[in-house]
Amino acid sequence: MIHDSILRDRLVTGDKSASDVTRDIARPILNNPTTSWKIGFTMALFFLGVFGVSLLYTLWTGIGVWNINKSVMWGWDITNFVFWVGIGHAGTLISAVLLLFRQKWRMSINRSAEAMTIFAVICAAMFPVFHMGRVWVGYWALPLPNAFGSLWVNFNSPLLWDVFAISTYFSVSLLFWYIGLIPDIATIRDKVKSKLGKKMYGFFSMGWTGSTRTWARYELVSLILAGLSTPLVLSVHTIVSTDFATSLVPGWHTTIFPPYFVAGAIFSGFGMVATLLIVARKVMNYENYITIGHLDAMTRIIMVTGSIVGIAYLTEFFIAWYSGNVYEQYAFANRAFGPYWWAYWSMMSCNLIAPQVFWLKWARTTPWFIFIMSIVVNVGMWFERFVIIVTSLHRDYLPSSWVMYSGSLTEIGLFLGTFGIFFTCFFLFAKFLPVINMSEIKSILRNRE
Amino acid sequence: MGILDKKLSLRDRNKMLIGVWEDEDQLVATASELVHAGVQIHDIYTPYPVHGLDRIIGARRSKLARIAFFCAIIGFTLVTTMIWYMSVHDWPMNIGNKPVRFTPSWAPVMFEGTVLCTAFGMSFFFFWRNRLVHGIKNETLDIRQTDDRLIIAIETVPGMDEKSILNMMKNGGAIEMREFENGVQTVI
Amino acid sequence: MSNNIKYWKGEDELSKSPSFLAAQRNEFHDDLPLDEVFNEEGVELQANRRDFLKYFGFSVTAVALAACYKTSIRNSIPYLVKPEDVTPGVANYYRSTCGACSTSCGIEVKVREGRPIKVDGSVDSPISQGGTCAVGQASILSLYDNERLANPLANGSEQTDWTALDSEISAKLKSIVTVNGKIALVSGSIHSPSTLKAIEAFKGAYPTTEHISYDAVSYAGILDANAADFGKRALPTYKFDTAKVIVSFGADFLGTWISPVEFSKGYTKNRQPNAEGGMSKHIQFESSLSMTGTNADHRFPMRASQEALYVATLYNYIAMGSGARQIPVPQQGELAGNSIKKTADALFKAKGTALVISGSNNTEIQQIVNGINMLLGSYGTTIDMVNHSNQYQGSDVKTAEVLAGLKSGSISAVIFYGVNPVYNHSKDWSEAIKKAKVSVSFASSKDETASFCQYVCPDNHYLESWNDSEPRKGLYQFTQPTISNVFNTRQAQVTLLTWANANIAMEKDPFASKGIFSQKLQASPFYNFMRNNWAAVLGTDDAFNAVLEKGVSYAGVSEGGVSYAGNVEALASFVSSNSKATGIDMVLYQPVGVRDGAYGNNPWLQEMPDPVSKVCWDNYVALPKSLAMKLDITEGDTVNIKVGDVTYNNVPAMIQPGQANETVALALGYGRTAAGKVGGSIEKGYDTVGVNAFAFANNTGNRSFVAKNVDVTKGDENYKLAQTQTHHSIEGRDIVRESTLGAFKKNAKAGNDKPETHIYTIWEKAEYSKDGAPNHLWAMAIDLNSCTGCGSCVVSCSIENNVPVVGRDEIRLRREMHWIRIDRYYAFESAEGAMTKDDEIAKVDASGNFDHWQNVNVLHQPMMCQHCANAPCETVCPVLATTHSSEGLNQMTYNRCIGTKYCGNNCPYKVRRFNWFRYNDNDHFDFHFNNPLGKMVINPNVTVRTRGVMEKCSFCVQRVQEGKLKAKRDGKSPNEVIVQTACQRACPSNAIVFGDLHNLESEVSKLYKNERGFSVLEELNVQPSVKYMTKIRNNDSI
């Protein structure tokens, strides 16, 4: 006979029964949207509009409406791309890696984290696509037979690796997320009243019955997918980092990038998860599912990855000095003390210094504080990408081509706009799908050893 | 045998005895009792995975892992061939004086392609095997089996002592018992 | 009662036979004969209603779709009768003479299908010697300027009928002559024998006519000095190729002074270092950093207002040496740190091969310079007064007289021929012209002067004209038309002759038989007039045509020697009165781009970065650092300048290294108010570009372009200048290598003897680049000793490769499109030695002493795509839009480019350019790409790039291909393939050499073996295909 653990605190508080779980988590789906949801959604839609306008303007006139120039040919666009892709990493990481490590606490956050991943990747994809001078022929980056003789693609190019990495990552994450959703969709299917609802949820639950046989295979599939996603998630940001690492721009051309980018991705990803969940648990009263324990665990990860990133920054400096390469040395000196010093130091303070506060128990367990910190983390990570891209390009080899760069209104509009995309998707998700994985939560109500 | 798991369908089956539980432990206990008593349990429906049940009802171990590996091999071969065909065989070019033949720069695409094929190939087989099809008519025995009810379904065979089975269930803490025959459920 | 009698149709109905009853139910008793119809031969119809609907739907959609597509209509009109010498796709080259300025370089015009598309120097012309300046290059675009006058104007209204206009004007002129009223014909310097003859003919008909030459930037100082000293009012021919020591007082002889192309060619002949030294020494005294100054071995700051004293002091030192009498001037203590003494010694050592020149327009100063050259025995060696130059003859005094005459009304008619005094002489002309009874301008566009004239009789562009010229005594060059008149214009000479109704009857056109020229050109009366003039010299057609084909005939004359009758001592008073330096001086100089502003409406020249400051699209007040600090002025600030009663407020300011303390400089040629949409036009509502500095020139006597006691204050506005280079120090990087002649003599690898960079690569060398590979291997070598930074290559490249003009705002955003740029780096000389790092300089600045800002060393480095063998741009392109050719070219495939811009980021030389917008047919870029006429200059061999693609230098791949094909057609061996890139072709100093490395005899392969050869950033192992020759300065000691 199996007993409840008396050693570990419960992962779900409030002594919930399986039916309570269903009721709590399905509530927003079954009931009408709340006013707070409506307000949030409208705001999201507004920013979506901002995105649309900025994008149309760019497409109509040409990317000259951005301020990028002959030396800094990537600016806000690729900064935002890396920023969003980074955020997109926490989801898969939480559900895959933590699943492999049998971290049960992941169960109440992985659903929303995965959703976040998918939406973030959508936002990220906008930039590599629309930063192209001729986006209408962008599909040439795919290995398709074409009208120009058998002219294929360049497998040496990191950008092509990106094409494969991002698309694979997106589709696999989507699959993983959907498979995880099936049992819950089935639950909703059996709860929902409306005819349309029954049809839709029926359609997507694919006749799920919860048969023991299915469950057995289901868990195996999840396990294997997790096993696949883990190297995948690592590879994706590694490849993104090679966009810079394989070039010869001083400040880009460095082998530390892959681990450093991955750490940064986890860092920012968890930052974003924290931001979202702290809001969600308040607004949707999920305190019992997303407990202080969860926040604590996440902040620990934030602190660790933040420190890893910080060490990477310092290592870069050391190597630059140690290499004896004047261009490298200048590039890094210029980052810290050049005209973009403000970007560099805000990056340092947000990513390396600020997270150290999480050594304090209070900091790790105070939601409002964590919320603020999570924002700080993401600001810092945006600056990191800005520093890497812009400060390296604006002063590279030949001083004759040194320039300054600052984003134009359109570029800023596009960036804000992607938040519109992100939150629109997220609000819809919160309305129509269970934000927390019900079936998994039910299985841990007993807090078994 | 086809890939589809026939057992998952309730269509044209004999009369079935159905027990509904609220408590996971009682259900597990009863299930094993029944199996010991030589009763063939058709299936058990739970709103969440209950570990061990599949072994109790004697489901065979899944081959998905092997299938996944198989998909991986296919994917790897496909992608590698594609790259080779495109950049070596069909139209080799001088790109920054990099060698045309197999180079480390092929690795990322190879890897991504492999992962893609594996994930989707395996999931496809999973869906197929488990009769998970879009828009399929769902055959839940109890509206709450996806909420908080756990259900044992036993397919009767001629000469089966239904009385004793029902008793076992009752004693096992079933909160409700039903008969299920060609689509109609009757509470006992 | 009802009628119940029953009628029946027939027996069947009566008997009610079943077949009848069945048939009765049908609408038609018998089946319709459809089947017979549809089962005829070839016709089948198994279509039921559904099929019909399908067909119907399809056809409707198809029609709808077809209707959606709008086909653009393109007319291509074939030759009905193909001219003998015009082959579509093959260019013809005609020798002619550049009419951009009166320097008259011999040129070669490239003509494609009847439209001239490129102007390059003619190797046979002693003036151009195959080179061109930026202005000459760009002058072709003003042929296609759609703002030229399409018709003559009378009182502002367009006339289409020349004859009516002629009779009207000549009648008025005649009436003036009858009352003995004066007619003034104000022209630029004219040295065309035929034109002068035409003017004589005009004078014959209108005896009261006086012909005055006026040059906007005049050399009257030299002319008058020579008149005084030699009794011959002419510019000498300066032979820089024979000069071993050159001393220039503010003369920008490589950029703008008299005949820059000729001088550059000569100058660079002696700039090649070799074991024996062999390098000339160039010493420059100047107050603002001129392009020539940047090339000097020794450069000393000089207050412009004190030039007289400097020159006199130099004279005295040399006189001391040669025992001549000195000018009694009060010694002012040592000027410029004893440099003048050293200079004198250097000159004296090089007696006979020395040359001293001054850019001043002051007669006395030029007389002293003449004296110096006399003492140095330069006449006959480095200065030729016999075969003197005719290029400039203008007289400022006479011009002033005309102005006065017009004001007083003593001159009742004025004709302006190729001059624009309202803009570049004095505003007073506008009022004066109004006083004239008849005022005519031959300007081809309604410029400042023309807009005040009653009549504008637009002159042809020189590419539409017949003409001849004598830029140097005994040197004759022909100008021949390369296109029939674009507009209803008429050559000024013809106009004059018509008014003089001189006999210019049609004569037999020697070309008519050959059927070369169009009817219009056959009818060109001036051809016949000119032909007659030459009848004596070149009697037969063949003799004439031979010269015409060569474009030049030169017979140096020996007679007409001159004797020096100068008296320098007499100038003592002048010197002493001009030796005091007070207040702030302002130097007004011609920029290398728009020069005197005549070509202000030429976008290529406006966008050509100034060789020194790299500023486009504006002139600015160049300030010395010391003054800038005093006035608390930094980059982006403006200044107010006031000279006498002329004030300009908020003129952009620029801190110019090398600017002498207490002097500022302002470029002429800007501030056009009636140039057009590019140069600015008040009438048409286009902003003027910069300010008109001619307003500051002092017009009394010989115009002085040095203003004294200038009042400079900080302006209250900010203004961002459009600069193509904003970081000026080289940061101590090993990008440009330099050394001194002394070091070079000891070690030929001096400055270039950096330890061999050890390059380890895992990739093996590509087949094509291995020695002895059967293909070409194109490469370029650039001699930093020859390159003067003049920027002619930049314009030439833009023309050849259809590089768009993007305008001021885009350049502010750092988006210039030039495929070749000239990087210019400053290094300051200071007690601590040369300072190349910004922080070093800042440190010294902090000490509050800014004298080091006066002593600047300048490096010019032409930079274009280096066509790296291991090209970093190629590996990163996802779509293979840029790949490597089997001849070592880094190719750019515009059609394949999707515009990720990664290649641009990964290019260590930053030479890739991106099409941020569509630059053609786009009102935001209203330059020549935006109108049909301007587009006629487009080179049909080069794609006009669309929006969103990357572009860059292609090593003129179209010329490479042309050269290969030509050699193949002529059955030549690969080693005989001759290819000249556009930049190389234009270069007035032979700095650029392009060729095949696999041809061991080629010049480029020889240069690749040169000890001075280095490639930029070779430690990156990108293996560039461009080698630079280490810069050697002859500055060990004066």
Contacting subunits of B (3+ beta carbon pairs below 8 A): A, C
What average pLDDT score do residues B73-94 get? 91
Q: CB–CB of B96 and C766 under 8 A?
A: no
Contact C97, C107 (CB under 8 A): yes
Band (pLDDT 50/70/90 cuts) for residue C94 is very high
In C473-516, where do the E strands start and end?
475-479
Band (pLDDT 50/70/90 cuts) for residue C27 is low
Between A256-265, C708-717, C747-756, C784-793, the lowest mean confidence (pLDDT) is in C747-756
Contact C871, C763 (CB under 8 A): no
Q: CB–CB of C727 and A151 under 8 A?
A: no
Q: Does A393 touch chain C (CB under 8 A)?
A: yes
Model pLDDT for residues A165-180, shown as the tens digit of each residue: 999 999 999 999 999 9
Q: How far is CA A172 from CA A92, A163, B21, C698, in A?
A: 10, 14, 37, 79
Of C990, C609, C574, give the one whose Cα is nearest residue C783.
Answer: C990
What average pLDDT score do residues C387-416 get? 91
What average pLDDT score do residues C681-708 get? 90
H-helix or E-strand containing C711? Answer: strand C711-718
> Using a CB-CB distance cutoff of 8 angstroms, which residues of chain C are in contact with residue A133?
897-901, 914-915, 947-950
**Per-residue pLDDT at B59:** 77
pLDDT at C340 over 90: no
Between B144-153, C44-53, C596-605, C712-721, the lowest mean confidence (pLDDT) is in C44-53
Q: CB–CB of C876 and A70 under 8 A?
A: no
Model pLDDT for residues C577-618, shown as the tens digit of each residue: 887 778 899 999 999 999 998 999 999 999 999 999 999 999
Band (pLDDT 50/70/90 cuts) for residue A448 is low
- The pairing of strands C711-718 and C209-213 is unpaired
pLDDT at C17 over 80: no
> Using a CB-CB distance cutoff of 8 angstroms, which residues of chain C are in contact with residue A399?
727-731, 733, 735, 825
Pick C900's closest partner by Cβ from A151, A159, A395.
A159
Between C319-328, C509-518, C546-555, the lowest mean confidence (pLDDT) is in C509-518
Contact C215, C552 (CB under 8 A): no
The chain-wide mean pLDDT, for chain C, equals 87
Pick A232's closest partner by Cβ from B24, B43, B115.
B115
Q: Does B99 touch chain C (CB under 8 A)?
A: yes
Q: Distance from C870 to chain A by nearest Cα, in Å? A: 12
What average pLDDT score do residues A140-154 get? 82
Instruction: Enumerate chain C positions whose Cβ falls within 8 A of a Cβ in B.
Output: 763-766, 768, 868-875, 880, 883-886, 1023
pLDDT at C868 over 90: yes
CA distance C94 to C116: 9
Tokens 């393109």, residue located: C74
Instruction: Give the phi and the psi of residue C614 in degrees, each rounded to 5.
Output: 65, 25
What average pLDDT score do residues B69-88 get? 93
Q: Does A130 touch chain C (CB under 8 A)?
A: no
**Per-residue pLDDT at B35:** 86
Q: What percent of chain C has pLDDT over 70?
A: 93
**Per-residue pLDDT at B87:** 87
**Per-residue pLDDT at B74:** 95
- The pairing of strands B16-21 and B150-155 is antiparallel
**Per-residue pLDDT at C38:** 58
pLDDT at C958 over 90: yes
Q: Distance from A404 to chain C by nearest Cα, in Å? A: 9
Q: How far is CA C364 from CA C388, C579, C697, in A?
A: 20, 13, 18
**Per-residue pLDDT at B1:** 41
- Cα dihedral C433→C437→C442→C444 (10° resolution): 70
Higher model confidence: residue C733 or residue C562? C733
* pTM given for the model: 0.89
Locate C993 and state its tokens.
């050499």
pLDDT at C879 over 60: yes
Q: CB–CB of B127 and A206 under 8 A?
A: yes
Contact C773, C998 (CB under 8 A): yes
**Per-residue pLDDT at C518:** 44
Q: For B149-170, give the DSSP string.
A: -EEEEEE--TT--HHHHHHHHH
Q: CB–CB of B96 and C886 under 8 A?
A: no
pLDDT at A190 over 90: no
CA distance C878 to A157: 5
Contact C601, C676 (CB under 8 A): yes
pLDDT at C506 over 60: no
Of C703, C702, C693, C736, give the one whose Cα is nearest residue C836.
Answer: C736
Residues 124-143 of A with CB under 8 A from B: 143
Between A150-154, C716-720, C757-761, the lowest mean confidence (pLDDT) is in C757-761
Interface test with A, best of C910, C915, C1022 (most A CBs within 10 A): C910
The chain-wide mean pLDDT, for chain A, equals 88
Between B29-43, C124-138, C914-928, C930-944, the lowest mean confidence (pLDDT) is in B29-43
Which residues, at least 6 apart from C714, have a Cβ–Cβ distance to it below 8 Å? C631, C632, C633, C637, C638, C639, C640
> Using a CB-CB distance cutoff of 8 angstroms, which residues of chain C are in contact with residue A409?
none
Q: For C856-889, give the DSSP string.
A: EEEEEEEE-----TT-HHHHH-TT--EEE-TTS-
Band (pLDDT 50/70/90 cuts) for residue C519 is very low
Q: What percent of chain C has pLDDT over 90?
A: 53
Q: CB–CB of B45 and A209 under 8 A?
A: yes
3-state DSSP of C810-840: HHHCCCCCCCCEEEEEEEECCCCCCECCHHH
- The pairing of strands C711-718 and C637-643 is antiparallel
Contacting subunits of A (3+ beta carbon pairs below 8 A): B, C
Q: For C245-273, give the DSSP string.
A: EEEEES--TTTTSS-HHHHHHHHHHTT--
Q: For B2-60, give the DSSP string.
A: -SS-GGG--TT---EEEEEES-HHHHHHHHHHHHHTT--EEEEE-SS--TTHHHHTTPP
Band (pLDDT 50/70/90 cuts) for residue B133 is confident
Locate A333 and state its tokens.
């000196």
Long-range contact set of residues B163-166: C-beta below 8 Å, sequence gap at least 24: B164/B37, B165/B17, B165/B34, B165/B37, B165/B39, B166/B17
Q: CB–CB of C878 and A163 under 8 A?
A: yes
Tokens 């099809």, residue located: B133
CA distance B72 to A107: 28
What average pLDDT score do residues A352-377 get? 91
Q: Distance from C623 to chain A by nearest Cα, in Å? A: 22
Of C1031, C1030, C937, give the one whose Cα is nearest residue C145.
Answer: C937
Locate C99 and state its tokens.
């009419």
**Per-residue pLDDT at C39:** 59
Band (pLDDT 50/70/90 cuts) for residue A331 is very high
CA distance A218 to A153: 38
**Per-residue pLDDT at C155:** 86
pLDDT at C51 over 70: yes
- CB pairs < 8 Å spanning A and C: 162
Neighbours of C732 (CB within 10 A): 16
Pick A133's closest partner by Cβ from C727, C896, C948.
C948
pLDDT at C833 over 90: no
Helix residue ranges, H only, A284-366? 292-323, 326-337, 341-348, 361-365
Higher model confidence: residue A306 or residue B142? A306
In C498-636, where do the E strands start and end?
552-554, 585-589, 615-616, 621-623
Model pLDDT for residues A213-253, shown as the tens digit of each residue: 889 899 899 889 989 998 999 999 999 999 999 999 999 99
Q: Bridge-partner residues for C858, per DSSP?
A: C826
Band (pLDDT 50/70/90 cuts) for residue C5 is low
CA distance A218 to A210: 10
Of C841, C659, C848, C654, give the one whose Cα is nearest residue C732.
Answer: C841
- Give buried/exposed letters for C313-325 (b at 16+ CB in 10 A, else e): bbbbbbbebeeee
Q: Distance from B104 to chain C by nearest Cα, in Å? A: 12
Pick A140's closest partner by Cβ from C728, C879, C949.
C879
CA distance C923 to C927: 9
Which residues, at least 6 apart from A365, have a Cβ–Cβ distance to it below 8 Å? A292, A295, A296
Neighbours of A336 (CB within 10 A): 15
- Cα dihedral A158→A159→A164→A169 (10° resolution): 90
CA distance C400 to C227: 19
**Per-residue pLDDT at C29:** 65
Model pLDDT for residues C272-309, shown as the tens digit of each residue: 887 776 789 999 999 999 999 999 999 999 988 888 88
pLDDT at C1 over 50: no
- Cα dihedral A225→A231→A235→A237 (10° resolution): 80
pLDDT at C1003 over 50: yes
Locate C348 and state its tokens.
């004296």
C168 CA to centre of own chain: 39
CA distance C860 to C888: 26
**Per-residue pLDDT at A2:** 47
**Per-residue pLDDT at A447:** 54
Q: Which range, A289-293, A295-299, B130-134, C865-869, is most confident?
A: C865-869
**Per-residue pLDDT at C819:** 95
What average pLDDT score do residues C190-217 get? 91
3-state DSSP of C290-310: CHHHHHCCEEEECCHHHHHHH
Q: Does B101 touch chain C (CB under 8 A)?
A: no
Pick A168's closest partner by Cβ from B91, B115, B137.
B115
What average pLDDT score do residues C666-688 get? 91
pLDDT at C229 over 70: yes
What average pLDDT score do residues C75-102 get? 84
ipTM comes to: 0.91
Grouping H, G, I as helix, E, B as strand and the rest as coil, residue A296 is helix
Contact C510, C545 (CB under 8 A): yes
Model pLDDT for residues B53-67, shown as the tens digit of each residue: 888 887 788 888 999
**Per-residue pLDDT at B82:** 92
